[in-house]
Every structure is written in structure tokens, then in C-alpha cells.
Amino acid sequence: MGQRHHKQKAASPPASVNAVAVLDIVLYPDDRLRAKCKPVESFDDELQALIDDMIETMYDAPGIGLAAPQVGRDLQLTVIDTRDREKPDPDNPGLLVLINPRIVEKSSETLTWEEGCLSIPGVFDDVTRPKRVVVEALDRHGEPFTIEGEELLAICLQHEIDHLKGVLFLDYLSRLKMRMAMKTYKRTKAGYLADLKKKREEKGDPA
């Protein structure tokens, strides 16, 4: 499992008890991003801690989604929050925890969105996907639910569910766009790792 970086909170319990942690994000081209993830079968305390850590990691990044393989776990688990703090939308479901999710409906209408990925920092490109999807999943307690997403939520649901199958948004790019993306990534990955090291040193975390 990736290293955990504990966040200090005033009046919080000792670090060993229920401390939420920001996890290391696995970077492309790590093989763990290509795993076909296993279904979650046990909704125990260990799973609850992983979910809380993934939520913290997504908000810290910041991102609008995060899938378990991105923190080195081959489990069918993802967290999503596509809310825009500046533009509150009463129709947005807010924070979602999706376990063993599957797309049960896709619209024929498509939408092209410039996607990014926390595992491929600095690379953004257009991907065309169904504009609306319906997803069935289990919540963090193992209760089934159905979520319908349109536009950004639909795009994010598909991006995260792809992660659980070892698929990355890069896989949808033409060879030319992929070559350009890799040139950009070579430059941005080094800067990203240097910034991460500096951030950790400032926080007093080990490298």
C-alpha cells in the first residue's frame, strides 16, 4: 500500500486512532493503474478507513474523483465530488462513494470534455463519451443505489469506472495526440515530483 501522510488537526484523537490520511497517488506508467480491480466483498473498518483516506486525498489533490488503483489498491472503489464551490447546484449529488459500480445505461448523445487525471499530472485532452449514464453501485455500507449523471458527473463516472478496469483517458487519444501528451508529461512529471517533495518538507513529512 502507498505511504500515508497524516494531517494534523486541533483536538483530534492520537494519530494511531482513526486519523485520516492523504495517500500517495500512483503515477503513470505504474502497472497498478492497469489492474482489473477485484469486487469489494467486506465492508469492514479497514474499508471504511480506506474510503475516508481516499476522500481526503481527492480533496487535497484537488480532484473531482479518485479510484482505488490510483492509491495502489486493486479494489472496485471510487469516490467522486463534482460540486463547484463557486456555483452551487441543487441537482448535484455531492460526495459519492461507489463500490462495485457498473454502468447500466448510456445515452447515444455524446459530449467532448477536456479530461485530466491525477495519475498523469499536467496532461489534459479531449475525450468524447456518452453525455448521460446510469450507474448501479453499493454505498460504503454495502447498500445498493442507482445514480444518474449528466455532463461532468457522467464524464467523471465513466473516467473513474474506467480506472477500475485498468483503462486511462490516454487510451482514447490518437497516436499523434498520445505522442504530444507524453512529451508534455515528461516535462510536467519532474516538476510535479519536485513540488510534492517541497510540500512534504514544509509539512515536516518524511519524503
Neighbours of 17 (CB within 10 A): 7
- How many contiguous H segments (helices) and E segments (strands) does the chain have? 3, 9
Q: How far apart are CA 206 and CA 163, in angstroms?
A: 29
Residues marked as catalytic: 160
113 or 185: whose CB is closer to ligand K1U? 113
Q: Per-residue x/- marks for ligand K1U, 58-77, CB under 6 A?
A: ----xxxxxx----------
Does the footprint of Zn ion cover residue 117 (CB under 5 A)?
Answer: yes
Interacting stretch for ligand K1U, rule CB under 6 A, among 12-20, 41-49, 85-93, 110-118?
110-118
Q: Is 199 helix (H, G, I), strand (E, B) or coil?
A: helix
Q: Which stretch binds Zn ion (CB under 5 A): 76-84, 117-125, 174-182, 196-204?
A: 117-125
By the 10 Å C-beta count (0-12 exposed, 13-18 middle, 19+ buried), 39 is classed as exposed
Which set of grid coordinates corresponds to residue 184? 508534455
Q: Which residues bind ligand K1U (CB under 6 A)?
A: 62-67, 113, 115-119, 155-156, 159-160, 163
Q: Which residues bind Zn ion (CB under 5 A)?
A: 117
